[in-house]
Amino acid sequence: MVLEKSKLIGNKTLEISGSKSISNRLLILQKLFGTIIIENLSNSQDSQLLEAALANDAETIDIHHAGTAMRFLTSYYAIQEGKTHILTGSDRMKQRPIKFLVDALRDLGAEISYLENEGFPPLKITGKKLEKSSVTIPANISSQFISSLMLIGAKLENGLEIHLEGKVTSRPYLEMTLKILRTIGISYRWEENSIQIFPEIKNTLKNSHSIPFVVESDWSSASYFYSIAAIARDSINLKYFKPYSLQGDSVLREIYWKYFGVNTISEGAESRISLLPEKYFSFPEKIILNMNDCPDIAQTLCVTATAMNIPFEITGLSTLKVKETDRLLALKNELFKIGCIAEITEDSIVSQKFFEPNETISIETYNDHRMAMSFAPFCLIKSLNIQNEEVVEKSYPAFWDDFHKILDKLD
C-alpha cells in the first residue's frame, strides 16, 4: 500500500473497537463460567480466532498467528477433563517459545506433550483434573503465560497460588487480569511475588444472573493516532475510552504529554478523549524511557521520535524479541529506511543519528501488525509504501479505513 505524503484533517472523531487484551481474557472466562455477557468485543483477528476455537469441538485447533490464543487455550484445554486437543498455529507460531507455561502446567499435573520441537507448539493436550494448587514460574517472561494460569485458577479445586521468580515484566497486564477476575466475582491476593487466586466464587458467579461487561476501546490501537497528532500538531478525537483504564498501554497519555506535548482531554459522559497537541511545547533533548510495562507501544514511540528528530533511548524491551517477529531487529531495520540509525541490545534500542531518508521508502512488516500501523504516520513527513498491509487485521481490521478518514493527500 502506497501512502502519499499527507496532512491531518483536524478535529475528526474515530470509534475504536474494544480492547483485544480485555476481550481475550473475557472470552476464556465466559467459557469457563458461562455467566458473562460481553459487549463491544474486539473485532481483531486474534479475538475472532479465539472465539472460534472455544466454540469448536474439533480435536485439532489452528490459531494461526494468534499468540494470546495459543497461551490462553493451553491452560484452558489442560483442565477440560477427558478431552484431547492438538493446538497448533502458523510457522511463526511454531517458533514462539511456550516451554515456561507448559512446564508450569505440567508441575500442576497437566498432561501436555510437544509434537514437533521441544518447547514450542504444536502441543497435544489431554485435559484432566489438576490436583495441585501451587506453582512457580519466572516473572520476567511474557505476562500472558502468567495470565493464562490466573484465568483458570478459580476453576481448580483449591484455587491456585503462583510464585513469581525474579522481576515482573509487563505488570499492568497482570493487574488487568486480576481486575477482570474481581469484576466477575473471583477473589485474589497479590503480595510481593505471590499471586493467589481463590476457589471461592461469590454469588454473582453461583447464581443464574448474567454479568454484563462492556469492553473499553483499545489503548494500543489509540497509540497510532497519538503519533499522528504529535507529528501533525493537530487534534483527533477517539471513542470509546474511559478516564480510568484497565489497560497498561493507557500510560501513553502520560508518555505523549511528557515527550511530545499531546494533551489528553477526557469527556466521560461521551466516553471520548481528545488529543490536543500543545502549540508552544518545549520538546526534550532526548527521550530516556523504560517501557518494561508497555512494550507494545515502543515501535510507535520510536517512529514518532524519528519523525520529529528527537533522540531516544528505550529500555525494558526484552519481550519484543519473541513477538510476531523479532520486533527489536525489525524496528532497527525499518527505522533506518525513514532516517534513523539505531543500535539494539537484548532489551533496548537507542538512536545514534538522524539523516535524510531516500525518496523511495518501503516498509517491510514481517507479518507483524504493529510494524504496519506504527510506521504509517510517517506519511505526514514523506510518502512511503507499507508492504503486506493486511497484517493489521490481527488486532485492528478497520485501521486503514480509520487512517484514511482523518488524512488528506498533499497537493
> Which residue numbers are catalytic?
296
C-alpha cell of 180? 477482570
C-alpha cell of 299? 515501535
Query: Of the candidates 327, 309, 286, which has an alpha carbon nearest to the alpha carbon of residue 378?
Result: 309
The neighbour count for residue 82, using CB atoms within 10 Å, is: 8
Q: How many residues does the chain have?
A: 411
Query: What is the DSSP secondary-structure string of 143-169?
Result: HHHHHHHHHHHTTSTT-EEEEEESSPS
∠ CA 175-66-252, nearest 5°, is: 45
Q: What separation, in Å, do the N-terminal and C-terminal C-alpha atoms of the chain show?
A: 19
DSSP 214: E
- Tell me the longest C-alpha to C-alpha distance in the chain: 68
Residue 303 contacts residue 370 (beta carbons within 8 Å) = no
Q: Reduced to 3 states, what is the DSSP secondary structure of residue 324?
A: coil
Cβ-Cβ contacts under 8 Å for 249 (sequence gap 6 or more): 172, 219, 220, 222, 223, 294, 296, 297
Residue 307 contacts residue 378 (beta carbons within 8 Å) = yes
Q: Reduced to 3 states, what is the DSSP secondary structure of residue 405?
A: helix
DSSP 397: T
Q: Which helix (H) or strand (E) holds 409?
A: strand 407-409
Residue 89 contacts residue 62 (beta carbons within 8 Å) = yes
Distance of CA 198 to the CA centre of its chain: 26
C-alpha cell of 116? 514437533
Q: Is the link from the previous residue into 240 a cis peptide, with omega within 30 of 0?
A: yes
Helices (H) and strands (E) in the chain, counts: 13, 23
Q: Reduced to 3 states, what is the DSSP secondary structure of residue 102?
A: helix
Give CA separation, 32 vs 72, 114, 175, 246, in Å: 12, 25, 20, 21
